[in-house]
């Protein structure tokens, strides 16, 4: 069917709004098709509104979001980055491939010994998290996370072209009520507001996202059940489904990874996340992984067999502190060879600050609000 001139104009406008460069930077594995689907659904929804006489808001500039699902209105492109907490998730020596974790590693197999090892290690990590003092984050404050990250510079769903590590800073609002102003990302020398699009004629108060799994706040995280089984049941219920080829266990594993990567979490909740992760089928332990800052550690991993990728949470061997995350190809695919790093991150600093754009120690970039 031929497109009308109006449809061609609309498609041209959408093409101009989509990033000309990387489209996968910072997003954890499996998120990209989800965002594409959301984008198409929003386009269809807005065409319906126009057919019914409701003119949608002109499409805003794409927002670089850390987590998916913070979208409403005509189009908001979520690129982390996941997050994502992503997000999105070690560092390779420039060539785009990482050393295999070791001859004893099966790269995500679910053998009994690997399973027992992962469960035991997650129990130790949970015990450390429970003993860790964290600053309570107030409603009028922001969670600040500074990290090093690198992702795919290639085209969407095409051959992977690993990018260079760069600094990323995020600020997340802790407002209890629904809001369209979620926070801020500073990456690639630019500030990217994390906002929710508002349909023309809609009161912004009605378009806001409440605190929850799509906009986690410290208070919301503190309200979650700390019983691992109850928490896991809630996560399976609340986690947005990714593309149909990704199993729910992987989606929930990625969701927990997004949360532990770029949030400040109450100790009891953090411990419950790790114990809940131990209950997800397919979770294993790898003896060695490297984060985006070049730090070696042990990894808790899970393989997405459909994508041929493995997501790894990396922890310091001695302290069991969280270091970062990476996603690597666990087998040869049309997109990349086994061992190629799709996404990698390293958390360097977490803090509580009073304003969006403010850095710890009262350092502040001019022009930030």
Three-state secondary-structure class, residue 279? coil
Task: Name the token pair of 316.
Answer: 């310091």
d(CA 245, CA 227): 29
- Taking the alpha carbons at both ends of the chain, their separation in whole angstroms is 48
Collapse the DSSP code of 346 into the 3-class scheme (helix H, G, I; strand E, B; otherwise coil) and give the result: strand
DSSP letter string, 298-329: EEEEEEETTTTEEEEEEE-TTT--EEEEEEEE
* pLDDT in the model for residue 281: 95
Q: How confident is the prediction along the chain (369 residues), in pLDDT tens digits per residue?
A: 555 555 555 555 544 444 444 444 434 433 343 344 434 444 444 444 444 443 333 333 222 333 333 333 223 333 332 333 322 223 222 223 333 222 233 344 446 777 899 999 999 999 999 999 999 999 999 999 999 999 999 888 899 999 999 999 999 999 989 999 899 999 989 999 998 877 777 777 777 889 999 999 999 999 999 999 999 999 999 998 766 556 899 999 999 999 999 999 999 999 999 999 999 999 999 999 999 999 999 999 999 988 899 999 999 999 999 999 999 999 999 999 999 999 999 999 999 999 999 999 865 443 343
Q: How many CB atoms lie within 10 A of CB 67?
A: 30
Per-residue pLDDT, 138: 97
Could you give the angle at which helices 228-238 and 248-261 cross, rounded to 10 degrees? Answer: 100
**Quick one: pLDDT at residue 208?**
87
Q: Estimate to the nearest angstrom the gap between the alpha carbon of 206 and the chain centroid.
A: 25
Contacts of residue 345, Cβ cutoff 8 Å, sequence gap at least 6: 26, 81, 87, 88, 89, 147, 148, 149, 150, 168, 261, 291, 292, 324, 325, 326
Return all residues near 350 (Cβ < 8 A) that are at least 6 apart.
143, 144, 145, 146, 264
pLDDT at 49: 43
pLDDT at residue 63 in the model: 28
Task: Write the CA distances from 14 to 10, 27, 75, 348, integer angstroms.
Answer: 6, 21, 9, 36
CB 278 within 8 A of CB 127: no
Pinpoint the alpha helices (H) of the chain: 5-17, 32-51, 112-131, 204-207, 218-222, 228-238, 248-261, 267-277
At residue 353, the pLDDT reads 97
**Residues 79/27, Cβ–Cβ less than 8 Å:** yes
- Identify the bridge partners of residue 358 per DSSP, sorted by sequence position: 364
How many CB atoms lie under 10 A from the CB of residue 321?
Answer: 14
Distance CA 321, CA 350 (A): 13
């Amino acid at each position: 069917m031929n497109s009308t001139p109006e449809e061609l104009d609309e498609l041209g406008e959408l093409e101009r709004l989509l990033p000309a460069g990387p489209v996968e930077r910072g997003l954890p594995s499996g998120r990209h098709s989800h965002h594409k689907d959301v984008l198409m659904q929003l386009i269809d929804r807005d065409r319906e509104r126009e057919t019914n006489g409701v003119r949608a808001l002109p499409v805003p500039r794409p927002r670089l979001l850390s987590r998916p699902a913070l979208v409403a209105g005509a189009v908001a492109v979520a690129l982390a980055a996941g997050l994502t907490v992503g997000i999105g998730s070690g560092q390779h020596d420039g060539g785009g491939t990482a050393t295999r974790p070791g001859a004893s590693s099966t790269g995500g197999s679910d053998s009994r010994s690997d399973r027992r090892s992962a469960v035991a290690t997650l129990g130790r990590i949970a015990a450390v998290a429970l003993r860790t003092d964290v600053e309570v984050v107030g409603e009028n404050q922001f969670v600040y996370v500074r990290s090093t990250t690198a992702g795919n510079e290639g085209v969407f769903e095409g051959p992977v072209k690993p990018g260079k590590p760069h600094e990323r800073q995020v600020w997340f609002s802790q407002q209890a009520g629904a809001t369209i102003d979620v926070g801020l990302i500073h990456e690639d020398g630019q500030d990217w507001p994390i906002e929710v699009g508002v349909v023309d004629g809609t009161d912004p108060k009605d378009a806001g996202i409440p605190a929850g799994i799509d906009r986690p706040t410290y208070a919301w995280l503190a309200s979650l059940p700390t019983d691992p089984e109850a928490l896991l049941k809630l996560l399976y219920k609340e986690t947005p489904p990714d593309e149909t080829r990704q199993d729910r266990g992987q989606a929930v594993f990625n969701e927990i990874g997004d949360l532990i990567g770029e949030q400040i979490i109450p100790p009891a909740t953090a411990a419950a996340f790790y114990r809940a992760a131990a209950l997800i089928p397919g979770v294993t332990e790898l003896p060695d992984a490297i984060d985006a800052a070049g730090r070696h550690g042990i990894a808790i991993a899970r393989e997405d067999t459909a994508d041929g990728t493995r997501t790894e949470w990396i922890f310091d061997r001695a302290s069991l502190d969280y270091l970062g995350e990476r996603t690597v190809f666990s087998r040869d695919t049309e997109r990349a060879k086994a061992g190629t790093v799709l996404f990698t991150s390293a958390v360097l600093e977490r803090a509580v600050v009073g304003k969006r754009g403010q850095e710890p120690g009262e350092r502040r970039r001019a022009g930030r609000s």
